[in-house]
Structure 1
Amino acid sequence: MPEHKTRNRITCDPDENKVPQKDLYIYYLKGLLPSGATDSADHFLGNWEEDDYSFLFFSRPSDQFVDEKISTLPNIQLLDKYEMTYEEWHGDKITTLRVNQFIIIPPWERKNQNMQSQDEFEIILDPGLVFGTGTHPTTNDCLEALLTLWYGAEIESILDLGTGTGLLAIAAVKLGCKRALAVDFNLLAAKTAYKNVCLNGLEGKILVVHGRAEELMDKPSDLMISNIHYDVMKNLINTEAFLNFRYFILSGLLRSEAKSVADQLKRLPVKILKTWDQDGVWHTFLGTTINLY
């Protein structure tokens, strides 16, 4: 298994007007490819790594390349391959979306004129192959939590753990946050997030890092956002660094997970300001730490 560097700053050169590929050809592999393994691939779109598995995305069938590459890597095994449209991969068409006061616009639909009114915030977002377009209930709740917090608190810095497409970090800066650190352990997600930072012209305010949430919890910020796997989140809450944040948003929790998190929070000097419950399935917490000194 290749060694992961855990604190890599991401850079890229986004193509603002690129329309997503209509068809996707996906190769599901057991094992992680070494760095540079796909550099010579034609029509390659990206590699999504999850635990000890890889998903290679191409815009055209690439059986020959994948077979040849696997033949040189004894620890890599092809498990399956899929063909689907870009819209099928995301579950719906990627189009302009209004969520509360945010207008989330894919770059290929961006008009020359400004679409936002005086009390709205425009976000240019290209999800690429990464989930996090604003349609998921937990993302909606996090955006609402940001709005709730901003109208009653002064937030100058945030730490966004499990940033995905970078949507929440971008939304926070659009609201007036001066600086944000956006972190994702998935390299493809981190690259996608930085592309969206560039599309919104926020390179000077948002730093995107490829790294582990656990290793970046000590970065001082007014607000910590964690829309991340429960197994990671429960460990973050148990760290001393958790109580250094003035505010926190915890999301992406199913009912049983939310109950466990609520029990954890009851044992800490924190106050829950608001909770969201989407049809009894997805749960989000907005809270503040209590200064005991």
Structure 2
Amino acid sequence: MKNPYEQLVIYNLDGVPALDHRVEKDERYLGTWVEEDTSFLFFSSPVPSLVEQVRRENSHISLVETYEMTCEQWHGDKIEPYFVEDFCIAPPWDRLNEETKSAAREILLDPGVVFGTGCHQTTEDCLTLIHWLCTRETIGTVLDIGTGTGLLALGAAALGCARVLACDFNLLAVKTTLKNIRLNRFEAQILAFQAKGEEVICLPCDLLVANIHYDIMQHLVEHPAFLEKKYFILSGLLNSETTKIMASLATKRVHVIERRCPDGIWNTLLGKRI
């Protein structure tokens, strides 16, 4: 299998277009990333006439800029197998050989065009702490807020968690997670859906995982339902932001088991309700 994202052509639009089946069924179309009133259409080769058609059919939008780059330039890293604990995270077009596979838990991860390959420090630290916790405690249910490509949800399922809820507000991220759930045959364990963190924090779970921006995190830890979670992993926090979250947690009946910050920049917290 060949890497389908070897070359990317990205059309930056001022506005969010409605796409008909001619675009979505086009074999060159890879997905649409939406950021408030801006959208990015991804294709595997230039499609100027198709994008012009989209613009004509959506009179409220305009083409801002067109970018051409490799998938490595977009993701900021190579898409290749890597190890975290006894996990090997591999793209479906570059899988483990049988000898290596027998010694590792293989997770197939197709990042699509969702930014990042899963190698970010916060993602690795979350996966490390999920592994540490799930190999020591019985964690039946997990809520993964801001799931992205679904890697943390996949890791929890691979460790035996029976029910994992993976949500993200970005629809393309949810679609990418759904693809990865199917790749790993975790349909019976993981449910992926579109939602905001504050809309799902009330859902019961043994473990809450949130690798998200501080501006959302600060509200989640103040929600009454936060204290209903037995364990939590909070990540995506810079040092100053972590200080504020730690101050908030200090007023609650929780215990921070570990604070990880191996690069001196990004922080991840593992905690427990007491």
TM superposition score category, shorter chain reference: over 0.9
Partner in structure 1 of residue 150 of structure 2: 166
2:229 is matched by which residue type in structure 1? F
Aligned with residue 254 of structure 1, among 212, 224, 238: 238
Aligned with residue 201 of structure 1, among 174, 180, 185: 185
- Separation in structure 1 between the aligned mates of residue 218 and residue 2 of structure 2, nearest angstrom: 39
8 A Cα contact 1:32 1:49, kept in partner: yes
- Separation in structure 2 between the aligned mates of residue 133 and residue 73 of structure 1, nearest angstrom: 32
Partner in structure 2 of residue 115 of structure 1: 100
**Matches of residues 1-293 of structure 1 in structure 2 within 5 Å?**
17=1, 19-34=3-18, 36=20, 38-39=23-24, 41=26, 43-111=28-96, 113=98, 115-118=100-103, 120-290=104-274
In the superposition, the TM-score normalised over structure 1's length comes to 0.88
How far has the Cα of 1:104 moved from its partner? 0.6
- Separation in structure 1 between the aligned mates of residue 127 and residue 24 of structure 2, nearest angstrom: 37
- Separation in structure 2 between the aligned mates of residue 271 and residue 245 of structure 1, nearest angstrom: 12
Q: Any stretches of 5+ residues in structure 1 without a counterpart?
A: 1-16
How far has the Cα of 1:40 moved from its partner? 6.1
**SS at the partner of 1:45?**
strand
Number of corresponding residues = 273
Q: Any stretches of 5+ residues in structure 2 without a counterpart?
A: none
- Separation in structure 2 between the aligned mates of residue 248 and residue 40 of structure 1, nearest angstrom: 40
- Separation in structure 1 between the aligned mates of residue 267 and residue 131 of structure 2, nearest angstrom: 17
- Separation in structure 2 between the aligned mates of residue 200 and residue 39 of structure 1, nearest angstrom: 24
Query: In structure 2, do the counterparts of structure 1 residues 110 and 42 end up closer, same or farther at CA, with 3 Å as the change threshold?
Result: closer
Per-residue deviation, residues 171-200 of structure 1 (Å, max 9, x unmatched): 011111111000011111101111111111
Per-residue deviation, residues 77-129 of structure 1 (Å, max 9, x unmatched): 222111101121112221111112110111111256363345x3211111111
**SS at the partner of 2:167?**
strand
8 A Cα contact 1:115 1:122, kept in partner: no
Per-residue deviation, residues 55-92 of structure 1 (Å, max 9, x unmatched): 11011112222223223323212221111011211122
How far has the Cα of 1:250 moved from its partner? 0.4
Higher relative contact order (CA 8 A, sep 6+): 1
**SS at the partner of 2:34?**
strand
**SS at the partner of 1:78?**
strand
- Separation in structure 1 between the aligned mates of residue 109 and residue 54 of structure 2, nearest angstrom: 33
How far has the Cα of 1:159 moved from its partner? 0.3
Query: In structure 2, do the counterparts of structure 1 residues 93 and 229 end up closer, same or farther at CA, with 3 Å as the change threshold?
Result: same
- Separation in structure 2 between the aligned mates of residue 85 and residue 267 of structure 1, nearest angstrom: 47
2:141 is matched by which residue type in structure 1? S
How far has the Cα of 1:18 moved from its partner? 5.3
In the superposition, the TM-score normalised over structure 2's length comes to 0.93
RMSD of aligned Cα (Å): 1.8
8 A Cα contact 1:185 1:211, kept in partner: yes
Per-residue deviation, residues 183-233 of structure 1 (Å, max 9, x unmatched): 011111101111111111110010111122211111111000000121111
- Separation in structure 2 between the aligned mates of residue 132 and residue 156 of structure 1, nearest angstrom: 28
Partner in structure 2 of residue 5 of structure 1: none
8 A Cα contact 1:158 1:222, kept in partner: yes
